[in-house]
Amino acid sequence: MRQAKVYQNYARWDDYSLATLAGRTLSFITGNTHFPTPAPELTAYGAAVNDFREKHEIASRRGSALEIAAKNNARDLLLELMKQMAFYVNTVANGDQQILASSGFELMPVPKAVGYPGIVGGLQVTDGRVSGETRFSFNVMRNAWEYEYQIATSLDAAGLPEWGELMRTTTSRLNYLPIADPGIKVYVRVRARNGKGIGDWCEAVSLMVR
């Protein structure tokens, strides 16, 4: 499982949100016993935070081109120092979410563990481009690495499909089946697989070959 961390890059944040976040991190880290030796040094970090917030406030009130340029320069410096500070926070916290949260930085979402694949849905068997050709499609399953499928063209004494060899595909769309004689009914079933294991077979779908 991936270690918990805070985001280090905030370049995509708008000026208003960045100013608020920067102020929060400065407030949360100041005097925080979890971070006794901030890097960069807190005085330099605080100066960059306050400089950007002040210049952003000026530029947001229809500032001149010079004032906007000054705000952008202050933003660039702040982003670099925030990246350094977030790296320091991640290093010190070593995955402890409580310590990470106490920094004021934004926590990265912890990815959910991949579970066993469910049952494939939306299976359809349709005519192909030429006579005797058929193809099948189904709904994509996000946690599947690949799919296994089987084809049958006959039924056993109990009226159940006599499944052929196991085949595999990595796509859920436009899987073409072997050419069959018109008038034969083709049955298809699909199941998903990933690193956890293999899902159950979906309900078989059939089509009369044309």
Percent helix / strand / coil, the chain, rounded to 5: 30, 20, 50
Q: Distance from CA of residue 122 to its chain's centroid?
A: 23
> Looking at this protein, which amino acid is placed at residue 44?
A
* pLDDT reading at 17 higher than 70: yes
Dump pLDDT digits (tens) for 161-193. 999 999 999 999 889 998 888 999 999 999 999
Distance, in Å, from the CA atom of 46 to the CA atom of 51, rounded to the nearest integer, reads 8
Domain range list for the chain: 15-101, 124-208
Mean pLDDT confidence for 127-145: 90
Query: Under CATH, domain 124-208 is a member of which superfamily?
Result: Immunoglobulins (2.60.40.10)
Query: Up-side HSE of residue 27: CA atoms within 13 Å toward CB?
Result: 7
* pLDDT reading at 111 higher than 90: no
3-class DSSP assignment, residue 134: strand
For residues 129 and 22, the model is more confident at 22
pLDDT class for 60, splitting at 50, 70, 90? Answer: confident
Residue of 12, 9, 16, 13 lying closest to 56 (CA atoms): 16
The per-residue pLDDT for 109 is 83
The per-residue pLDDT for 143 is 86
Which pair of tokens denotes residue 6?
């805070």
Which pair of tokens denotes residue 84?
């350094």
For residues 62 and 185, the model is more confident at 185
Dump pLDDT digits (tens) for 65-85. 999 999 999 999 999 999 999
* pLDDT reading at 114 higher than 80: no
| Beta bridge mates, 167 | 149
Where would I find the H helices in the chain? 15-29, 42-60, 65-93, 97-101
pTM exceeds 0.75, yes or no: no
Distance, in Å, from the CA atom of 87 to the CA atom of 109, rounded to the nearest integer, reads 17
With pLDDT > 90 as the criterion, what percentage of the chain qualifies? 83
Residue of 126, 128, 131, 130 lying closest to 183 (CA atoms): 131
pLDDT class for 35, splitting at 50, 70, 90? Answer: very high
For residues 109 and 37, the model is more confident at 37
Mean pLDDT confidence for 8-28: 94
Distance, in Å, from the CA atom of 143 to the CA atom of 112, rounded to the nearest integer, reads 11
> Looking at this protein, which amino acid is placed at residue 107?
L
* pLDDT reading at 11 higher than 90: yes
The per-residue pLDDT for 179 is 85
Residue of 17, 28, 31 lying closest to 79 (CA atoms): 17
